[in-house]
Each structure stands twice: as structure tokens, then as C-alpha cells.
Amino acid sequence: MASSSMFRNIAIIAHVDHGKTTLIDALLRQSGIFRANQQVAERVMDSFDLEKERGITILAKNTAVRYGDIKINIVDTPGHSDFGGEVERVLKMVNGVLLLVDAFEGTMPQTRFVLRKALQLNLKPIVVINKVDRTDSRVSEVVDDVLELFIDLEANDEMLDFPIVYASAKEGTATTDLAVPAQNMQPLFEAIVKYIAPPPGDAGGPLQLLINNTEYDNFVGRMGLGCVKRGKIAAGQQVSVIGHDGVSRQGRIGNLYVYEGLERVQVNEAPCGEIVAFSGLADIKIGETVACQERPEQLEPITVDEPTLKMTFMVNDSPFAGQDGKHLTSRHLRARLFKEMEKNVSLRVAETDSPDVFQVSGRGELHLSILIETMRREGYEMQVSKPEVIYRWDAGRLTEPVELLTIDIPEDKTGVIMELVGARKGEMVNMTSLGQDQLRLEFKIPARGLIGLRSQLLSETRGHGVMSHIFMDYEPYKGDIKGRYQGVLIAFESGEASLYGLHSAQDRGVLFVSPGTKVYEGMIVGEHSREQDIEVNVCKKKHLTNIRSSTAEAAMRLDEPRQFSLEEALEYISGDELLEITPKSLRLRKRVLSKHDRQKSIKNF
């Protein structure tokens, strides 16, 4: 059996779209994992449909490559802080990290977030400057940026002496010296073997393994994943499972697997330092310790940052409920949300006074919207409220989450963006030039000020603005922020939207629906050009007469209706509105559908 010195366990950490999954593709191809004639998809590690569509990593995943006699276990981590729960637990499995940084963009907020977690765990970093083949790359400036980031994060002298590898993941090349032409990925493989220490641990001691992830397999049921910290683990072994509360229960390991390339390979036993997956423990949870039955000793449980955003999930009670989805009831909704909480460690689900309503808390808007989109594709129907930040009381003061916001914009848009962020209580902390009339602005801003900001930024910069943000800390409440400036157009009655009715309503503002769309009373069909809400009849038809009109309907022209993505719709709705979500449709609506009941509730309020 191999000793722990034959393993290197690493995580690849980077900002969204800096080439992390592409780099793993190159390592897999050059390690001989695939046959010469094998057809392999690009970004092969992005196995989740939403990951392929959005070009981001959402779920942490494992793979392994071999370099000579050394087995390198690689974990692909999410680059977005909303999925920080995934990052925090997988970093407990590894002994070093590849910090991947774009040769043009440099260090970004999510890079800072994951690197801070890695340095707190004392993991050895190797800095990989990726995309050095870009014509606009700024390699020397980016290396200085990385050094500044390490200093800002109070890295010790050993960490500051990090090795640097220059790579083009797309081309599959790497070098430690830009003056030496890159041929292949061998310099990166050698850096991993040289600088990342083998997993520590007593190979002859009693078993200790921390559960870092769980999966469900249709054939063997629930599976636990983790790194063997001490001793060895075998299929069929009797073990003790120590829960978060320190209480032990007995169990038996079923099938045991290790990773080879993209495959899970069944083995009889695995040594100290190996990353394994196993079945047999049906009630296993993330953060629990699997230990020797005779001498059970608990490892430190996994801790993740608490959620900062919450929203309400409720059963769909609109007039169109049940037309698209398969899972409609509160029982379905409850079971699915609590199942998600078992594997999504940074998610919280709480029941409310109503059996049809659940409060769901997460790390950010993207974290919650990915959950909603996943459920939607599984056939669930639901309604959700506007996201709200989670406040805390500290020493008698109300505090709120504050984030570091980074915005890259054309230089001529500086004034309008500073005004936009300032209205949301943002304070500018830094401004740097990226060359070519591009600026990077950094702001400290309340998390609630970010809701709805992305769509406004894209509108003001005509699609050229790029923003990212990262949670910093809780700070005293910054004051009120004005919500949406425009009111909405509300459907006056149920029916089918007509060209004639929509043409009449178009003068009032911007439409969200097109002719032929079925609507119901209280559904939002457009944005009003003024601050107040207004009811419009989009279903009315032109009365037929026996007098022929010279212009007829040829003169009726409708502007293109505004279409919302899920994130844009969540950002758009206000406190008295809901987003109805079905597998086929997204509909904005008022909480109270009837005009009479809405007016009555306003008077009572």
C-alpha cells in the first residue's frame, strides 16, 4: 500500500472566469488520463448543467492525476463567495493551493476571499499567473498585486516567499521563467511535487476521517467524502461516527472508492493521506468524524460563515398554479429544502407560523438563485419574496453586512457610477487605472445596496461595467436606502393580453409581456414611468364596427417587452411583491392580487 508521501492534495482557487476549470482540463490531458482517441468535452469538471451554462463553478469536485509515482488529488473549488460554504469545507481536505490569477484582471474580491481562508488554515500557496498569452496581459503588475494581497492578508514570511508559475491553460503550457518558452504543463507538475508537502498523519494510528462532503448515488445510496487524516480505512470496516455534539454511534463502511482521473475506482482499503468516498453510513453528515471503533477521537468540526441574506419561499397560490409544475404542495417544498440543507452547509431553512411558508437564508443572491433555478428545473412551483439582508444587534447597536465592491468601468462613466453607488450608501476606498481608458473602483457598501445594482450598472455603462463583491464584516447600520424609483403597471383583470390593450398601456411605461400572454388580476405587466403603481387593462379588445378604419391596426407598433432573468427579477421586486416561479415561466405579481383588498390593506396600515 502507498504511504502518505506518495500523495499531494491541492485545491485550485481563483476568481470567476480566471481559467480554473480549463487548467484542470490541461492537467488531466497531459497526465495521460484520457486515451489519444477519446472525445472529451471542454471544461470537463463543470458537470452541473448550470455550471456549463453560466461558465462558473458552483459545486466543489474532486479529480486525481499521476505525475511519475506521485498521485495528485485536485479539488476544483467555486470562485464566487456565495458558494463559500463549498470552499471552506474542501480546504480542510488539502495541504496546499494553486492560486490562479488572470494576467490582465489581477487579484479580484473572490480571490481575496478564498486565499484568506487558505492562509488561515496555513496551506502552502503556489501562484499561477494564467492567460499570459493575452495581448493585454500585465504580468509584472499582477505579480505586484498578488504580493500586496498577501501582505494585506497578513501572510507570514514563509507564505510571502511563494513560487510563481506562468501559464496559458487554454494552450496547455506553463513556465517558471517568461524568458523560457513554455512547452507543456511539466513545470506546474514539478512545482506541485516540490512545494506542496505530503499529507501529515500517523499511518499506523487509529482511523480518523473528517466528512467534507456528501453525495447521493442511485445504486449505493448516501456517500461520505473526506481525507484520511490518520490510520487507514477499509471496505466493510466497523467504525464509530462522532456527531457535531460529540456523541458517537456505530456504523460499517460499505463500498470504498478513490479518485483516478474523473472516475471513482472501487478499492478494498485506502491509506493515510488519500481522499476517499464511501457508502454504508446512511445518516452521515458534513463535519462529522469517522473514527476507529476501539479508540474514537473527534476531529475539529467544519465551521462556515453564517448567511447574510434571507428570503421567503412559499407555495404557489396564484390563479395559474399547477399548470406547469409537478411538485406543488408544501410537503414537496419542505422536503426539498431540508434535503438541500443536508449537503449545502451554508444554507439555513426555518419553518414559520404558516405551514406553506419557509424562510431560507444563504450567502448571497447568486447562492439562493442557483437553488431556485435547480428546483425549477426539477419541476417545482413556488413563490419567493424580495431578498433581505440579515441584521444583527451588537452591544445595543443595529449592525448590517458590509461588502467590498469592485467595479471595472470605462473612464468616462466614473461620475455617474460614483453617484449611483453613493446613493446606495457606498464609500469609495480605492481607484486604480487598468489602462486603455479603463478604471477599477473599489467601494465599501451595505449588502442591501447591492440588490438591483448590477442591472443599473449594465444600463448606465451600456453593458461595459463589470462588478464583483465580497463580504467584509458587520458594521453599524448605514441608514435608509431608497428602493425602486418607478411604480409598476398591474393587470386590471384576468385574460389574454391583446395588441390593442398593450398599445394603450405602452404610453404609461415599459411593458413586460407580449400579445397572447395570459395574465391574471394583480400580475405585474410593466413598469410605470412615474413613482406610483397603476392598474391597466391589457386584455381589452377594440370593439368591432361596420365602419372601415383607414389606418386599421397597421399603425399599432409595440416596443420589445423587457425580459427578466431569474436574478434580475429577484432584484426588481419590492417588499409588497412576489416572484412566481414555475418550470416554464417567471411572473411578477403583487402579494395581494385584488385591487380592492390592496387598497383596504393600505388604509388599515
- What is the distance between the alpha carbons of residues 371 and 83, in angstroms, rounded to a whole number? 11
CB-based burial label for 94 (10 Å; 0-12, 13-18, 19+): buried
Distance CA 405, CA 390 (A): 18
Taking residues 505-532, what's their average pLDDT?
88
Contact between residue 130 and residue 79 where contact means Cβ atoms under 8 Å apart? no
CATH top class, domain 488-604: mainly beta
Residue type at position 402: V
- Per the confidence metrics, is the pTM higher than 0.95? no
What beta strand segments (E) does 218-308 contain? 221-230, 233-234, 238-242, 248-252, 256-260, 263-267, 269-270, 275-278, 289-292
pLDDT at 455: 72
CB atoms within 10 A of CB 143: 17
| Greater model confidence, 605 or 507 | 507
Name the more confident of 28 and 289: 289
Please state, rounded to an integer, the average pLDDT across all residues of the chain: 81
Domain 392-476 adopts which CATH fold?
A: Alpha-Beta Plaits (3.30.70)
Label residue 549 by pLDDT band (50, 70, 90): low
**Which CATH architecture best describes the domain 4-195?**
3-Layer(aba) Sandwich (3.40)
Axis-axis angle for helices 186-195, 20-30 (nearest 10): 100
Q: What percent of the chain has pLDDT over 90?
A: 6
Confidence band of 546 (pLDDT split at 50, 70, 90):
low
Alpha helical stretches, state H, 330-364: 330-343
Can you tell me the mean pLDDT for 485-505?
86
Q: Delimit the domains of the chain by residue range.
A: 4-195, 208-292, 392-476, 488-604
Q: Return d(Cα 397, Cα 553) in angstroms, integer.
A: 62
For residue 587, count other CB atoms closer than 10 A to its CB: 24
Q: Is the predicted pLDDT of residue 81 greater than 80, yes or no?
A: no
pLDDT of residue 501 exceeding 60, the answer is yes
Share of the chain above pLDDT 70, in %: 87
- What's residue 20's pLDDT? 67
- In CATH terms, the fold of domain 208-292 is Elongation Factor Tu (Ef-tu); domain 3 (2.40.30)
- Per the model's pLDDT, the better-predicted residue between 218 and 130 turns out to be 130
Q: What is the pLDDT of residues 371-403, one digit of tens each?
A: 888 898 889 999 999 888 888 888 889 998 888
Beta carbons within 8 Å of 155's beta carbon, 6+ residues apart: 119
pLDDT at 544 over 80: no
pLDDT at 300 over 90: no
Q: Side chain identity at 514, as an amino acid letter?
A: S
Cell of 410: 470605462
Are 227 and 273 in contact by the 8 Å Cβ rule? The answer is yes
